[in-house]
Amino acid sequence: MKTRTLLAAAALAAIPLGLLAQGALDPSELAKPATDSWPTYHGDYSGRHFSMLKQITAANAKNLSLAWMYRTNPSPENAIVGGTPPPVVPGRGNAAPASGGPTIKSIPLMVGGVLYLTAPNHTWAVDARTGQQLWHYLWQGRGVIGNRGVGMYGGWLYFETGDNSVVSVDAATGKERWHQRIAPEGATNFSTSAPLVIRNHVILGAGGDSGRNADWVESRDPETGELQWKWMITPAAGEPGIDTWPSPQASAIGAGGPWQPATYDPELNLLYVPTGNPTPSYNGRAREGANLYTCSLVAINPDTAKVVWYYQFSPHDTHDWDATEVPVLIDGTIDGKSRKLVALAERNGYFFLLDRLTGKSLLVKPLVESVNAYTGLDKNGVLIPNKEKEPSPGGSLVSPTSDGATNYPSPSFDPLTGLFYTNATTDYSIFYLPPDPGAPSGYGRGGEWHTGEFHTALKAIDYKTGEVKWEHKYDQSGFAGGTYPGALTTAGGVLFTGDPSGNFIAFEAATGKILWHCPLGNTYQSNTPETYMLDGHQYVLVAGGDTLFAFYLQ
Amino acid sequence: MSGAWKIVGAVGLLAGGFAAFARAQQPASTPAPAAPLGTPPVAAAPIDPAAVSRGQQTFVQNCSFCHGLDARGGAEGGVDLTRSQIVIGDATGGELSAFLKTGRPPRMPAFGNLTDAQVSDIDAFVRSQNITSGGRAPLVALVVGDPKAGEAFFNGAGKCSTCHSVAGDLKGIGSKYDVITLQGHIVLPRGSGGWPSLKTPFEVNNPPNVPRKVSVTEANGKVSTGDLVSISDFDVVLRDGAGLRHTFARNGDTPKVEIKDPLEAHVEMMPHLTDEEMHDLTAYLVTQK
């Protein structure tokens, strides 16, 4: 049954080769790890952020040098403009920020020698050989905190806008083909995720934790933009999971936004959707119960929208610990048996290993030693929240802060070392909630006092045991606002990531030895590095603020 | 907590029980109820409805993503401005105007490009929201501890009296700080402070600044000391007694870098401090007027 569905969908999705123009992307290529392109946000479906390339090695990484840099240009001049402008204020333009360009949190796609990157309401095509801008698409509309990038299908690109539309443009020209609303005009949702293309599905997400909306994941037709299915994170009356909410009304404003791209196992045909925190964020009294399916990993069949399993990382979260971290798919060996696994380093301060066929929890281990908001595990291997550590009128001292021990930027799994790499911070906040928090909305009138970060490290974790094989402690602690630099590993034995001081660093993946570094200017690494071969060079790209840097060996 | 929690029991519950609850092909979602717009006040200080309307437009464009469409805090944790002392503490909007020139990086960027007239309109809009919301009071922390137990902890197990004295450096501390700031500083007087809705007037005017001290010894024996500005594997920056900034490249152990944190005792205490001890200390110190 499942196979038949799969074959039918695959047949539907096939793009006749003759129709694929130069520089286009055949969706079937997405299932194979590529080395001459970077065709999705995660580089492939697995979320490993590992490349088989080995031109750059631990021995020669010290010779890396700048190939080019590209500074984002947000100016509406010469841009292709779409969307509806927000209310016009006399004497003030609508699109351009006061100074500098917007921050690149996206991971650029590279297909056919062209890079496609985004910042909120902006998409740029850049020549991957020279760093020169080819076109700029500007969406006029409400701003948003970040945008993770584009998805690609054939010669078409897809991206989400701050005011909850999805836009499809021609990759060659940037000209708009169509746009569709994800959420209605005026909704308090926001859309930041990078669309994920799976055969003939464009997977999108609507987030928003204002405490006044529901959030969801949905699939659209890549040609027409028509809605194929929509799965609400929080259940309606009569649906499974509604017993984890006090009422359908509470669930209907419970959020859980999937504001990060999912990962996907083509063999199991399962989409792994990481979900955000419940709302009101700090006020758990307004929503007694586990609050499914927030702060969870949900395995969904992308053809039918059927949920096959779920696992909740933070039941009844009251600390704004979105579980939108990257579900990293690992084909590994546990107790001598080959297993399909998924590993996550979570904002709540724990490392998790699950069986990705069943959702069975195999390992839960503190990522930072200071975690103190849970009392243990229940019989299903799920963390039990400590009531005493919920926000309270007198204040509850909790580690980590709402920024998390880690956050959305991608960790990396290197199958050659068997290590899972992530930056992690040990810190505390005092979480408050007034005795009578009143009407639940937003943060539920709660708040937190950041006591100050004091320990940050890059950790190399054995995925089977959760043990730290090596760690590099940074002398300076803390990444501002949870903007942890993402990581990339390569078959050349090199791990690329950033430190809290704005340096982009190449480490030896096996040992943690520093091989090379480059300061990114008066800013921090703001995305996750990527790599690909072009013209015989292995390029490594990383963003620092409004600038994209490309390195190679000269 | 240490050691892995290995799960050995059956977890079959998770595997199969939820196979059939797709909510496919749902109609477009119902939008959340629109936030009430600012309406002219009835019996409060007069606010120009035209200014409210203009202010709302400017607000939606510049501020709403973080602070919500109705200024009551929003999607990304911007504070509830209807309870902001900067807004409601100054009827003219002048304080807000000054604040927007600099912002509070990294979370709150500067909006120096807004004209005074635009800021004044934003001020009017936010005030109108406060009135329609019934003027909710700013959040305050409750004192829930036992002052006697706090005093005993201060002089005993907490070892606070090793460095501090309520007759000396902490004299009158209970009238200097509000409860939230006081409790935050008890834990560590360097915190980045409240978020999203706890910025107290004291905190806004007195950002915590207790820098680490650093000593740099170069290969030729020259020693430089000062406040640590920043440090990475590759460089260290200090500010000397005259306020001048000095940058040194680092190469392994050269130069030799020694850092002393005057707040080390707080940092060491934090992982062991219970909420009860923290509440008791706060209850004790608020009595030190």
A454 vs B contacts (CB less than 8 Å): 188, 267, 270
Nearest CA in chain A to B83: A445
* 3-state SS assignment for residue A413: strand
Pair type for strands A494-498 and A503-508: antiparallel
CA distance B8 to chain A (A): 8
Residue A488 near residue A495 (C-beta atoms within 8 A): yes
DSSP A20-45: --TT-B-GGGGGS--SS-B-STTSSS
- The structure tokens 């600012």 sit at B38
CA distance A114 to chain B (A): 32
Query: Could you tell me which residues are beta bridge partners of residue B224?
Result: B216
B77 interface with A at CB cutoff 8 Å: yes
Give the separation between CA A407 and CA A428, rounded to whole angstroms: 15
Return the number of other C-beta atoms located less than 10 Å from residue B137's C-beta.
8
Q: E strands along A22-112, which residues?
A: 50-51, 64-71, 80-83, 109-111
Those of residues 34-73 in A touching chain B at CB distance below 8 A are: none
The region of weakest confidence among A24-38, B25-39, B187-201, B209-223 is: B25-39
Q: Residue B14: which of A188, A359, A466 has the nearest Cβ?
A: A359
Contact across the interface for A432 and B191, Cβ inside 8 Å: no
Those of residues 255-284 in B touching chain A at CB distance below 8 A are: 257, 259, 267, 270-271, 273, 275, 278-279, 282
Per-residue tokens: A488 = 């990339």
B120 interface with A at CB cutoff 8 Å: no
B140 interface with A at CB cutoff 8 Å: yes
Cis peptide leading into A293, omega within 30 of 0? yes
Q: Is the pLDDT of residue B207 over 90?
A: no
Kindly report the length of chain A: 554
Q: Is the pLDDT of residue B180 over 90?
A: no
Q: What pLDDT score was predicted for residue B26?
A: 32
A499 vs B contacts (CB less than 8 Å): 232-233
Average pLDDT by stretches of 10, chain A with 554 residues? 38 52 78 88 96 97 98 90 66 42 92 96 97 96 85 97 94 97 89 95 91 92 97 97 94 93 97 96 90 98 97 97 97 93 98 98 96 97 97 94 92 97 93 71 71 85 97 82 84 96 96 97 89 98 96 96
Residue A97 near residue A74 (C-beta atoms within 8 A): yes
Contact across the interface for A371 and B1, Cβ inside 8 Å: yes
Contact across the interface for A89 and B61, Cβ inside 8 Å: yes
Give the separation between CA A289 and CA A515, rounded to whole angstroms: 49
Q: Residue A380: which of B11, B34, B180 has the nearest Cβ?
A: B11
Give the separation between CA A149 and CA A119, rounded to whole angstroms: 8
Q: What pLDDT score was predicted for residue A371?
A: 96
B58 interface with A at CB cutoff 8 Å: yes
CA distance A539 to chain B (A): 24
B232 vs A contacts (CB less than 8 Å): 474-476, 499-503
Residue A346 near residue A321 (C-beta atoms within 8 A): yes
pLDDT in tens, B36-80: 322 222 233 456 778 888 888 888 778 877 777 777 666 566 777
Interface test with B, best of A367, A451, A453, A483 (most B CBs within 10 A): A451
A154 interface with B at CB cutoff 8 Å: no
B9 vs A contacts (CB less than 8 Å): 379, 381
B157 interface with A at CB cutoff 8 Å: no
Counts of helices then strands in chain A (DSSP H, E): 2, 39
**Rounded to 10 degrees, what is the CA torsion of B266, B269, B273, B279?**
-20
Q: What pLDDT score was predicted for residue A349?
A: 97
Interface test with B, best of A430, A453, A472, A525 (most B CBs within 10 A): A430
The three state secondary structure string of A351-407 is EEEEECCCCCEEEEEECCCCCCCEEEECCCCCEEECHHHCCECCCEEECCCCCCCCC
Closest CA to A353 of B249, A37, A362, A215: A362
pLDDT in tens, B107-163: 787 887 888 888 888 888 887 765 433 333 345 678 999 999 999 999 999 999 999
Domains along chain B with CATH numbers:
49-132 (1.10.760.10), 147-207+266-285 (no CATH), 213-261 (2.30.30)
Give the separation between CA A364 and CA A297, rounded to whole angstroms: 14
Domains along chain A with CATH numbers:
33-84+103-553 (2.140.10.10)
B4 vs B245 pLDDT, higher one: B245
Per-residue tokens: B154 = 């201060």
Q: List the end-to-end C-alpha distance of chain B, in Å, as a whole number.
A: 39
A227 interface with B at CB cutoff 8 Å: yes
Long-range contacts of B66-71 (CB under 8 A, 24+ apart): B66/A145, B68/A188, B68/A210, B68/A442, B68/B35, B69/A188, B69/B35, B70/B35, B70/B36, B70/B37, B70/B129, B71/B125, B71/B126, B71/B129
CA A553 → CA A51, A63, A109, B161, distances in Å? Answer: 17, 6, 21, 58
B68 vs A contacts (CB less than 8 Å): 188, 210, 442
Contact across the interface for B191 and A449, Cβ inside 8 Å: yes
Q: What pLDDT score was predicted for residue A437?
A: 63
Give the separation between CA A216 and CA B244, rounded to whole angstroms: 53
Size of interface A-B (CB pairs under 8 A): 289
Q: What pLDDT score was predicted for residue A445?
A: 66
CA distance A187 to chain B (A): 5
B15 interface with A at CB cutoff 8 Å: yes
Supply the residues of A annotated as catalytic. 320
B57 interface with A at CB cutoff 8 Å: yes
What is the band of B95 on the pLDDT scale with cuts at 50, 70, 90?
A: confident
Nearest CA in chain A to B258: A475
* Global confidence as pTM: 0.82
Those of residues 248-277 in A touching chain B at CB distance below 8 A are: 253
A96 interface with B at CB cutoff 8 Å: no
Closest CA to A80 of A146, A155, A175: A175
CA distance A487 to chain B (A): 18
The crossing angle, in degrees rounded to 10, of helices B94-102 and B116-132 is: 120
Q: What pLDDT score was predicted for residue A72?
A: 93
Closest CA to A53 of A541, A493, A421, A413: A493
Nearest CA in chain A to B270: A428
B21 vs A contacts (CB less than 8 Å): 235, 239-241, 306-307
Give the separation between CA A189 and CA B69, rounded to whole angstroms: 11
Closest CA to A106 of A140, A147, A153, A143: A147
The three state secondary structure string of chain B is CCCCEECCCCCHHHHHCCCCCCCCCCCCCCCCCCCCCCCCCCCCCCCCHHHHHHHHHHHHHHCHHHHCCCCECCCCCCCEHHHCHHHHCCCCCHHHHHHHHHCECCCECCCCCCCHHHHHHHHHHHHHHHHHCCCCCCCCCCCCCCHHHHHHHHHCCCCHHHCCCCCCCCCCHHHHCCHHHHHHHHHCCCCCEEECCCCCHHHHHCCCCCCCEEEEECCCCCEEEEEEEEECCCEEEEECCCCCEEEEECECCECEEEEECCCHHHHHHHHHCCHHHHHHHHHHHCCCC
Those of residues 298-337 in A touching chain B at CB distance below 8 A are: 304-311, 320
Q: List the end-to-end C-alpha distance of chain A, in Å, as a whole number.
A: 53
Contact across the interface for B14 and A365, Cβ inside 8 Å: no
B118 vs A contacts (CB less than 8 Å): 89, 92
Closest CA to B11 of A364, A370, A271: A364
On the CB side of A391, CA atoms within 13 Å amount to 33
Contact across the interface for B113 and A519, Cβ inside 8 Å: no
Phi-psi region of A336 (alpha: psi -120 to 50; beta: other; left: phi over 0): left
- A471's enclosing H/E stretch is strand A468-474
Those of residues 496-525 in A touching chain B at CB distance below 8 A are: 499-503, 505, 514, 517, 519
Cis peptide leading into A280, omega within 30 of 0? yes
A1 interface with B at CB cutoff 8 Å: no
B209 interface with A at CB cutoff 8 Å: no
Q: Residue B14: which of A212, A311, A474 has the nearest Cβ?
A: A311
CA A534 to chain centre: 26
Contact across the interface for B61 and A476, Cβ inside 8 Å: no
Q: What is the ipTM of this complex?
A: 0.89
Contact across the interface for B75 and A209, Cβ inside 8 Å: yes
Secondary structure letter of residue A104 according to DSSP: -
Give the separation between CA A144 and CA A286, rounded to whole angstroms: 27
A302 vs B contacts (CB less than 8 Å): none
For chain B, the average pLDDT equals 74
A145 interface with B at CB cutoff 8 Å: yes
B187 vs A contacts (CB less than 8 Å): 397, 428, 430, 451
DSSP A171-186: TTT--EEEEEESS-TT
B210 interface with A at CB cutoff 8 Å: no
